[in-house]
Amino acid sequence: MLILGVMGMFPALASDVYLPAFPEVARELHVTINQVQFTLAASMVGMGVGMLGWGMWSDRVGRRLPALIGTLMYVAASILCVFSPNLGWLIVWRLVQGAGGAAAVVASRALVRDFFSGTEMARMLAAVSTVFFITPVVAPSVGALILGVANWQALFVMMAAFGVFGSIGILALPESLKVENRVSNNFGQAMVAFGRILRDGHFRQYFWQNAASVCITISYISTTSDVYLVHFGLPRPSFALIFGITAFGQMVGAQVNRRLLKRIAVKRLLTGFVIAQFSFATALFLVGHFTDAAWAVILFQVLTIFCGGSVVGNGTTLALRDYQVNAASGVALLALAQSLAGAFAAAATSFIPFEPVQRMTTAMWGAAVASFLLMITRQIRKRQIP
């Protein structure tokens, strides 16, 4: 469980530890903070595209080898980020870094699907998510601490070191994909398999649901440094504390979800968390537009993000219900939707013509509305099916 959680940490580490450095990166590379957001979007695009390739290969050869090679690629790209002379090259290497880190994420979720199903799978995903959510709690504080004694390039040195540690953990894992469940698809056949999965209406419902929920979280992540460090003018330690509280809330949400799964069906619990997230996001939108109270923004931001991990975890469980074979391909498609949705959210928020706090709350509320409407549409269709 610990190793699986660490494997899922790569994307969170690459984004969250780097957030306090946005102002420094902007100053040193002579760009704006909004432009620095594109490095976050590039990482997510790389992760989304990379997951397709790693997912195909993982279903052919097993989980360990692709995870190890991808992690080493993540290490190399992290080191190359250190030597980026301008924003363009930083974006390129962040793209490669995201693509490499995608392998460990695909493998970790596919491993869970290999060993578990149904409610047990949902509970295991919640447990692994608890380990994963430790990263956002610690990462901004670690980032701020490193920036107090070194430049922003040191953050990528730390990411590379974490990648080396992760590769050691991967070597300790057993291979989970049984030989009889491996596929022998070539590239063309793999594309056909992806198409077949996407034509599955049941899978597609949760594919879009997860993507919308991830947009909420990424809208927050991509704008939070501008909101708290610039708009509210808070010091770095306070920013790290706020980010940590928000991430801790998401971790608590995952544990609440895990316990509730003992008594409540996955579908019903997903519906409840979507409604709660929409309600909190609406309150956040109102306080962000009609007050300038940092405490109110923080409160409803924490409550909105509290629901995110549970929505995605339960959505993943329901989407992969019928995929014992091609599990990694299903995981890759879900992750692709989430990564590309996150990249869209990170890029789109930079174009919203509002003050930082209004920009963040508008983007989060818009994504919450989309998530809520998807859930309502699913419920209506369910009642129409005899």
Each residue of 49-67: pLDDT tens digit?
887 788 778 877 888 888 8
- At residue 222, the pLDDT reads 79
Phi, psi (rounded to 5 degrees) for 214: -65, -35
Query: Is 166 a domain residue?
Result: yes
- At residue 225, the pLDDT reads 79
- The amino acid at 165: F
Query: Is 328 a domain residue?
Result: yes
Question: pLDDT per residue over 340-349, tens digit each?
Answer: 787 788 778 8
Query: Is 329 a domain residue?
Result: yes
Query: Is 13 a domain residue?
Result: yes
Query: What is the reported pTM?
Result: 0.69
- Could you tell me which of 277, 258, 294 has the C-alpha nearest to residue 373? 277
> What is the extent of the structural domain holding 34?
2-381
- Could you tell me which of 17, 88, 97 has the C-alpha nearest to residue 50? 97
Mean pLDDT computed over 213-231: 85
Concatenating the DSSP letter of every residue in 79-139 gives HHHHT--SHHHHHHHHHHHHHHHHHHHHHHHHHHHHH--HHHHHHHHHHHHHHHHHHHHHH
* Residues with Cβ within 8 Å of residue 318, at least 6 apart in sequence: 202, 206, 266, 267, 270
The CATH number for 119's domain is 1.20.1250.20
Query: Given pLDDT bands bounded at 50, 70 and 90, which one contains residue 386?
Result: very low
Mean pLDDT computed over 254-261: 84
Overall domain count for the chain: 1
Mean pLDDT of the chain: 82
Nearest 5°: CA angle at 339, between 338 and 342? 85
Query: Is 354 a domain residue?
Result: yes
pLDDT at 292 over 90: no
Concatenating the DSSP letter of every residue in 143-181 gives HHHHHHHS-THHHHHHHHHHHHHHHHHHHTSPP-S-GGG
Query: Is 386 a domain residue?
Result: no
Q: Which two tokens stand for residue 86?
A: 């301008």
- At residue 371, the pLDDT reads 92
* CB distance 369 to 278 below 8 Å: yes
